[in-house]
Structure 1
Amino acid sequence: MKPIIHLENEIVRLRPIQEEDVEGILNAANDPGIWEHMSVSLLTKEAVQNYVEKAIKERTANQSYTFVIVKSETNEIIGSTSFLDIAENHKRVEIGSTWLAPKYWRTDINTNCKYLLLKYCFEELELNRVQIKTGHENIRSQKAIERLGATKEGILRNHMIRKEGKIRHTVMYSIIKEEWPEIKERFLQKLLQSN
């Protein structure tokens, strides 16, 4: 993975998370509803600082690559998304740990982010597979992933323990390189309709 990746269009910019982003992330992340299904909770400055430090450390080690999501029109941080489970030798990656400020839920922001990420994965990195996973109780996320055109592969039972100690089954989805041209076309139609 390159040390600096910038992905953007007229709606959003995805850029590497950096230490200077703590205040912007804290402002975007201050709704407890964001964290209901997430493995972290970014409601305090200390939590955000730890999140940013961990993300930078993991990027340096090529374990993950966290972006801040910046709304192009206002230049404000409105969320974050990451490349996880980076396996360059197997030409695969996971897109995950995505969160947005609630006022951007059910808008075209997530569609634009996923399009930029998937386009980069399949057209720049020439990957074979991109996976996306979510918790079995996170129906909103499952529906959003399915709207992207990802294939549901199954459920990993008792896969994780959530931050409050509850067991989480993980619903696994993927998009493979052979599917990208058709899925890309669907994205472009959606993005045209939203503009």
Structure 2
Amino acid sequence: MNFNCKEDYILENDVVRLQPLQNSDFEKLVVFSINEPELWSYNANGPDSPEHLKKYIEKALSQREKLVEYPFIVFDKTKNKFAGSTRFYNINLEAKHLEIGFTWYGKEFQGTLLNKNCKYLLLEFAFEKMNLERVGFRANNLNQRSINAMKSIGCIKEGILRNFNTDAKGNRIDAIVLSILKNEWFTSVKNNLKNRISNTNS
């Protein structure tokens, strides 16, 4: 498949639907910015206020226009509610890799089936539709919840980027880098993730 950032792709299964983020999605997500600003305490430039959410969406859509990012809004079908956002970024089709990140969900969606289903759909699309060779992930090295979630889907730690960025308070942070390779997806990660989702659903 010839992936094009300017085309609209919808990824979905029985649990979740990922659809391209739009400016109009501000109204669907602003409740999180108002009521749960602490969701973005580990990283700078999070949408922790309505004003910041507006800029967050505008920047994400600008990056999509530049063909380097593809942001989604996440809809939880089991709760019939919009849950948060995620995206492909650092898209490099020539080198056959990208990263998955800028992922956040409201508190009521954390610790549910949502994240694993989202990651399954994103990884399946990246490796089986886009035919990529590597999918990378990053997180604040202090964000153990996020790191555990990435490792639980099969990500392998590659290393630490020291003094890489800032958190929401402006403190310098280290970033952990993880990844999944195409052969790992097909030989183990895909089935393991599918089984974990199926066993939890059953």
TM-score if structure 1 supplies the norm length?
A: 0.95
Instruction: Tell me, in whole angstroms, the C-alpha distance in 2 between the residues paired with 1:17 and 1:36.
Output: 22
Is 1:35 aligned to residue 40 of structure 2? yes
Instruction: Tell me, in whole angstroms, the C-alpha distance in 1 between the residues paired with 2:28 and 2:153.
Output: 28
Please name the residue that 1:174 is paired with: 179
Shift of 1:111: 0.3
- Aligned pairs (5 A) from 1:43-82: 43-82=48-87
Instruction: Tell me, in whole angstroms, the C-alpha distance in 2 between the residues paired with 1:75 and 1:190.
Output: 22
Is 1:146 aligned to residue 147 of structure 2? no
TM-score if structure 2 supplies the norm length?
A: 0.92
Amino acid at match of 1:4: D
3-state SS of 2:131 partner: coil
1:59–1:65 CA contact under 8 A, matched in 2: yes
Residue of 105, 119, 124 corresponding to 1:119: 124
Identity %: 34
The root-mean-square deviation of aligned C-alpha atoms, in Å, is 1.3
Residue of 94, 98, 101 corresponding to 1:96: 101
- Aligned pairs (5 A) from 1:3-14: 3-14=7-18
Please name the residue that 1:186 is paired with: 192
Shift of 1:74: 4.6
Amino acid at match of 1:185: N
3-state SS of 2:94 partner: helix
Instruction: Tell me, in whole angstroms, the C-alpha distance in 2 between the residues paired with 1:140 and 1:46.
Output: 27
Instruction: Tell me, in whole angstroms, the C-alpha distance in 1 between the residues paired with 2:43 and 2:82.
Output: 19
Q: Which runs of 5+ in 2 are unaligned?
A: none
Worse-matched range after superposition: 43-52 or 129-138: 43-52
